[in-house]
């Protein structure tokens, strides 16, 4: 990287130095022993002559600074920092593709400290630098620099062992992946439209969802991925409050939509039409039919599709969950794959999240992680106002569970909701209603081409 810098100022001396540097590179232990010796000499000298304290201070600060840089992983610009709503995941690169790049590599760290020791030592021979300093001044100086230094690397705790892996579709050849069907259908219904309306066949039935599901599934199969779609069941009781809100929002949008239609405002109509989209029984049934014809299995979840997906992972029936929804981790799916679908068209890399590694990185266990997610806000209950990602994680790390947190926080500052149902929410995450392992039989078969053709072309008007 800074080879470039060196190139620009090529002199004989530089070449010579570079030559020796290259030669000593392999001897890690010897190099650091050398530095240690220099340090000892320096300390002995400072102590024996009772002076040059300021140089010792500067050296100390400098070393601290460099050490932190050494500990800090290299910032990857493509990782803008992902998490917000859901699990606060440590953002770090991945293990196999890039091993943990340090911002300051070991060799550079050694070289720079070597120079620092040498220069400091030399400086102690220059009498004019033996400035008498008052101790308090040095202490203040130290604190200022320390604060500045600590702030620079974003958060030292950020260094999680690779919880996120990036890859391409090809890496998932032969893998079985569970997918939340309702979610996909929803996306198709919203995205696939023309002139504000969904695509339909001659008799006016919507076909957007079939379109999307057909192509997306084909693409996955082409890449050797074996998808299994999971359909939503009826939502749990706790979610009803949340659902009411959504219904309200939708009826509101409905009203706006008709208003826009009367006013002839096409754009507004389009906008509100998207908000009124709802996945119906018919959509689900259409897709199930399509999947059967394609030889792709599906599962009817008793309640939440995400929970069932996670269960399939835990039961070892699939490799991971393909979703954009971080709740899958809260349900205990160890592997979550994002951007699985559109990685090829847009060059969005597929990101694979590992629950165990994320937990390691955050320094908490699964129960604490569940509590953390509840604090951050889930569909099942309210969260505490004034506690967001940072404070929630701090609180969990400090108190380890919600009960203890509740005992310890200032209730005046942070209003805890009345009848806060966090315990039930926790139960839902911990023991969600799911199908037992033997109730799901996942078989991928050859597509029924004739059946497909007759269904798609004759019934739904595809060509």
Which residues contribute to the site for DNA (CB under 7 A)?
80, 82, 84-86, 151, 182-183, 186-188, 190-194, 199-201, 207, 211-212, 215-216, 218-219, 232, 234-235, 240, 243-244, 246-247, 271, 274-275, 277-281, 284, 324-327, 341-342, 344-345, 379, 383-392, 413, 460-463
Closer to DNA by Cβ: residue 162 or 220: 220
Say if strands 193-194 and 197-198 run parallel, antiparallel, or are unpaired: antiparallel
Cα separation, 433 vs 302, in Å, equals 6
Q: How far is the CB of 193 from DNA (least distance, A)?
A: 7
Q: Smallest distance from the beta carbon of 206 to DNA, in angstroms?
A: 9
How many other CB atoms sit within 10 Å of the CB of residue 395? 23
**Nearer residue to DNA within complex by CB, 55 or 287:** 287
CA 136, 137, 138, 139 dihedral sign is positive
CB of 212 to DNA, least distance (A): 5
Q: C-beta of 107: minimal distance to DNA in Å? A: 31
Q: At 179, give phi and psi (nearest 5°).
A: -135, 135
With respect to DNA, which residue has the nearer C-beta, 110 or 353? 353
**Smaller CB separation from DNA, 106 or 394:** 394
Residue number, 46 or 180, with CB nearest to DNA = 180
Tokens for 145, please give them: 């620099």
Residue 299 Cβ vs DNA, minimum distance, rounded to whole Å: 14
Nearer to DNA, 326 or 405 (CB): 326
The structure tokens listed for 107 are 């060799």
Give CB contacts under 8 A, 24+ apart, made by 117-124: 117/35, 117/38, 117/39, 117/42, 117/59, 118/38, 120/42, 120/55, 120/56, 120/58, 120/59, 121/38, 121/41, 121/42, 121/45, 123/52, 123/55, 124/42, 124/45, 124/46, 124/49, 124/51, 124/52, 124/55
- The least CB distance from residue 210 to DNA, in Å, is 7
Q: Please list, in sequence order, all residues whose beta carbon lies within 8 angstroms of the beta carbon of residue 459, skipping any fewer than 6 positions away.
A: 201
CB of 462 to DNA, least distance (A): 4
Rg (CA), the chain: 30
In the bound state with DNA, the residue whose beta carbon lies nearer, of 16 and 148, is: 148
**Residue 392, CB-side half-sphere exposure with 13 Å CA sphere:** 23
């Amino acid at each position: 990287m800074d080879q470039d810098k060196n190139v620009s100022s090529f002199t004989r001396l530089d070449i010579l130095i570079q030559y020796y540097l290259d030669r000593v590179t392999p001897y890690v232990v010897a190099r650091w022993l050398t530095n240690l010796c220099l340090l000892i000499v320096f300390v002995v000298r400072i102590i024996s002559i009772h002076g040059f304290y300021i140089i010792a201070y500067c050296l100390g600060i400098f070393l601290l600074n460099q050490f932190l840089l050494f500990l800090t992983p290299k910032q990857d610009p493509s990782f803008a920092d992902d998490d917000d709503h859901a699990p606060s995941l440590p953002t770090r690169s991945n293990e196999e593709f890039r091993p943990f790049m340090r911002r300051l590599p070991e060799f550079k760290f050694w070289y720079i400290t070597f120079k620092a020791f040498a220069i400091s030592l030399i400086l102690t021979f220059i009498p004019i630098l033996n400035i008498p300093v008052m101790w308090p001044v040095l202490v203040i100086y130290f604190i200022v620099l320390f604060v500045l230094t600590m702030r620079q690397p974003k958060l030292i705790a950020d260094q999680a062992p690779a919880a996120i892996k990036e890859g391409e579709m090809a890496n998932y050849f032969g893998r079985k992946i569970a997918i939340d069907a309702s979610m996909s259908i929803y996306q198709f219904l919203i995205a696939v439209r023309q002139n504000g309306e969904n695509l339909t066949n001659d008799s006016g039935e919507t076909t957007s969802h079939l379109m999307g599901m057909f192509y997306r599934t084909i693409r996955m199969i082409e890449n050797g991925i074996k998808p299994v779609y999971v359909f939503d069941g009826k939502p749990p009781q706790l979610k009803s409050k949340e659902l009411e809100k959504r219904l309200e929002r939708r009826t509101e949008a409905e009203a706006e939509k008709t208003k826009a239609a009367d006013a002839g405002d096409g754009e507004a109509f389009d906008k509100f039409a998207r908000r009124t989209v709802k996945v119906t029984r018919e959509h689900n049934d259409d897709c199930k039919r399509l999947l059967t014809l394609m030889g792709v299995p599906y599962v009817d979840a008793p309640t939440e599709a995400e929970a069932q997906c996670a269960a399939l992972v835990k039961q070892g029936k699939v490799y991971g969950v393909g979703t954009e929804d971080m709740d899958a981790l809260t349900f205990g799916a160890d592997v979550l794959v994002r951007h699985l679908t559109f990685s090829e068209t847009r060059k969005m890399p597929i990101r694979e999240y590992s629950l165990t590694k994320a937990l390691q990185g955050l320094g908490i266990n699964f129960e604490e992680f569940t509590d953390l997610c509840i604090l951050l806000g889930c569909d099942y209950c309210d969260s505490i106002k004034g506690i967001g990602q940072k404070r929630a994680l701090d609180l969990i790390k400090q108190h380890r569970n919600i009960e203890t947190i509740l005992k310890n926080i200032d209730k005046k500052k942070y209003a805890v909701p009345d009848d806060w149902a966090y315990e039930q929410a926790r139960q839902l995450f911990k023991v969600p209603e799911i199908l037992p392992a033997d109730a799901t039989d996942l078989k991928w078969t050859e597509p029924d081409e004739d059946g497909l053709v007759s269904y798609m072309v004759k019934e739904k008007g595809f060509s």
